Amino acid sequence: MHREIVIIGGGATAVAAFTQVVRTPGIASVTTVDPNPVGLGHAFGVTDPMLLCNTSVDVTSLHPDGPSDLLDYLTERGWAARPEDFVPRYLVGHYCRERYLAGRREAERQGIAVSHHPARATAVRSTADGYRVELADGRRLAATDVLVCLGLDRPRLPELLRPYDGHPRLLPQPYPTDRLRALPEKAEVLVIGTKLSAIDAALVLCAGGRRTVMASPSGGLPAVRTRLCRPGRPLLDSRRWQRLDPRAEDLDRELTRLLLRAIGRAGSGLGLRAQTSSAAVGDERLREELALAAAGRVPWQDVIAEVIDAINAWTAPWDPALRAEVLARYRGLMSRYISSIPARNARLLSGHLDTGRLALAPGYPVGVEPAADDDGWQVEWPDGRRERFTHVVCGTGFHTPQLDVAAPGLYRIGPAVTHGAAPAITEELRLCDPHRGSVERIWVLGAAAHPRTAIVNYLNTAAKQAQRVAAQFTATAATAAAAPSVLAA
Ligand SMILES: Cc1cc2nc3c(=O)[nH]c(=O)nc-3n(C[C@H](O)[C@H](O)[C@H](O)COP(=O)(O)OP(=O)(O)OC[C@H]3O[C@@H](n4cnc5c(N)ncnc54)[C@H](O)[C@@H]3O)c2cc1C
């Protein structure tokens, strides 16, 4: 069996897939399609040293198990990194790029043809003997197997600002941060959002001395952590979690019990209330949670890695509607604690709040309009107050990557022109054509796997997915070797 693989997307997920799949038997060629250099995707291909990972070195690795491969990479190059450190994201970009290049050299030594095609893929079409990947530059690439590794790069504008998309003083996302750094020092900036990308924006703006106000519907910043590491011994009763019935009336109680027990095992007898702040005002809550983190009084943080794995495993067999319904109930909690921020970022935010350079708005704007003199924005707050800003920056997240079935056997990538059916993704991460009912040799990993995997914005999840795909390739090669006439994936 000679697989000709096309990987769509070349970010960290694609590198995790490449480095694992290329070691499986029977690979003839691997072509990566991405307009950017392979390894330098949207999440980690940044250049700004201000932008930190919000995951520790321990879990920000292309290998999901064992000692952190990122730690090895950094140590070999003389960085005094520890597993718990939150390193700048650009270092992870370099790491992915170098691991891709090394994997490529090794694969070529084994006789595998490896290439990078700098273009966007627009569709995957099934053919008599496999697939054709269609590119925006008009080229077509033949493949026996396709790995779809699209990331998050299309910013989601809040409804309030959608009429002004393209306005020269509206930045739809903070990246690349050069655009924030290029704003005048006297700029007065409204950042919409209070989660991770909004925090990146505020840190860059405030470091340059610009007065910045952050506003979001929740008004709340994430919790503060000093590490996100895998625990040395299991803290969570994952087996019991996997047996919980998502429709049970006492689900909340059961989940709370499991979590409290795990946190109890992680901590030194500290109750959950003593590990978090209940302050109603955002600035105060940040200060209190920063103090708790600095004092090492946040053992809740040590169960997060296991919780992410447990949620992904628990919800993977469910149908998408049930997954969406159950996860929606816990969305607020998950985003505050699973996506909590490194203490370094919290310290910087707190410092900017103290100097008055940064403020957290007490409410969400009821109106944002270009000012009459075209010199910025007029913002109306819920209490009727009006305030001028020179610029608005959105840190409101990204659209999930879109894949739709335009016709039987034709999968379109990107914002849909016509609304085709959504393809199903099997538990093995394979696309399933709803028209033909066939399971394709198209695997979906990373953010595009959101219809199957609950928490995708995490390199460790993507690395685990890559491992599962590689295991399927190995198993198929073994089956094909045992019965050469059987050609099934
Ligand atoms: C701002 C930000 C910060 C993050 N920080 C962390 C973190 O600290 N730790 C962590 O674990 N996770 C983090 N994540 C989550 C991150 O998405 C995952 O870790 C993921 O594994 C990153 O790699 P990726 O390859 O999936 O996505 P990306 O890095 O976005 O790469 C996707 C690539 O696909 C390409 N692409 C997109 N569409 C096409 C197309 N049609 N044709 C060809 N190529 C295409 C893009 O050009 C891009 O290079 C972050 C995400 C974001 C957005």
Residue with tokens 């607020």: 332
| Percent of the chain at pLDDT exceeding 70 | 97
Token pair, residue 315, equals 């919800």
For residue 41 and ligand 1, the question of a CB distance below 6 A is answered with yes
Identify which of 19, 20, 38, 42 to mutate to test ligand 1's pocket (most ligand atoms within 8 A of the CB).
Answer: 42
Q: Which pLDDT does position 416 carry in this prediction?
A: 60
Which among 140, 153, 450 is the best mutation to test ligand 1's pocket, defined by most ligand atoms within 8 Å of the CB?
A: 153
- Which amino acid is located at 157 in the chain? L
Gap from CA of 436 to ligand 1 centroid (Å): 31
User: Is residue 459 classed exposed, middle or buried when 0-12, 13-18 and 19+ CB atoms within 10 A define those classes?
Assistant: buried
* Cα(176) to centroid(ligand 1), Å: 14
Look at residue 486 in the predicted model and tell me its pLDDT. 44
β-pair partners for 146: 6, 442
pLDDT of residue 402: 83
Q: Which two tokens stand for residue 24?
A: 């499986």
Look at the block and give the residue holding tokens 């109890």. 264
Provide CATH code, domain 159-219+361-394: 3.50.50.60
Gap from CA of 174 to ligand 1 centroid (Å): 15
Cα of 296 to ligand 1 centre, how many Å?
Answer: 31
The pLDDT of residue 483: 65
What integer pLDDT is reported at residue 489 of this predicted model?
Answer: 45
Mutate to test the pocket of ligand 1, among 6, 13, 69, 403 (most ligand atoms within 8 A of CB): 13
Nearest-CA residue for ligand 1 atom 52 is: 43
User: What's the confidence (pLDDT) of residue 181?
Assistant: 97
Q: Give Cα 280 to chain centroid, integer Å.
A: 29
Query: To 10 degrees, what angle do helices 89-109 and 69-76 make?
Result: 90
| Largest distance between two CA atoms of the chain | 75
Q: Which two tokens stand for residue 448?
A: 């595009």
Residue 421: its H or E element: none
Q: Which amino acid is at 198?
A: A
CA distance 9 to 32: 7
Helix (H, G, I), strand (E, B) or coil at 12: helix
- According to DSSP, residue 57 is labeled T
The Å distance, Cα 80 to ligand 1 centre, comes to 26
Nearest CA to 3 among 113, 155, 162, 88?
A: 113
DSSP one-letter code for 291? H
8 lines ligand 1 (CB under 6 A): yes
Ligand 1 in reach of 195 Cβ (< 6 A): no
Total Cβ atoms within 10 A of residue 113: 12
d(CA 361, CA 273): 26
- Ligand 1 close to Cβ of residue 54 (< 6 A): yes
Please return the burial class of 238, using the count of CB atoms within 10 Å of its CB with bins 0-12, 13-18 and 19+. middle
The ranges assigned to domains in the chain are 3-154+398-482, 159-219+361-394, 224-341
Q: What ranges make up the beta strands (E) of 216-324?
A: 224-225
Helix axis angle for 12-21 and 89-109, nearest 10°, is 30
Residue pair 457/447 in contact (Cβ under 8 Å)? The answer is: yes
What separation in Å is there between the alpha carbon of 447 and the centre of ligand 1?
8
Enter the tokens of residue 153: 């790069």
- At 481 the pLDDT is 74
Mean pLDDT, all residues of the chain: 94
CB atoms within 10 A of CB 362: 12
pLDDT under 50: residue ranges of the chain? 486-489
Is the fold of 3-154+398-482 the same as that of 159-219+361-394? yes
Question: What CATH superfamily is the domain 3-154+398-482?
Answer: FAD/NAD(P)-binding domain (3.50.50.60)
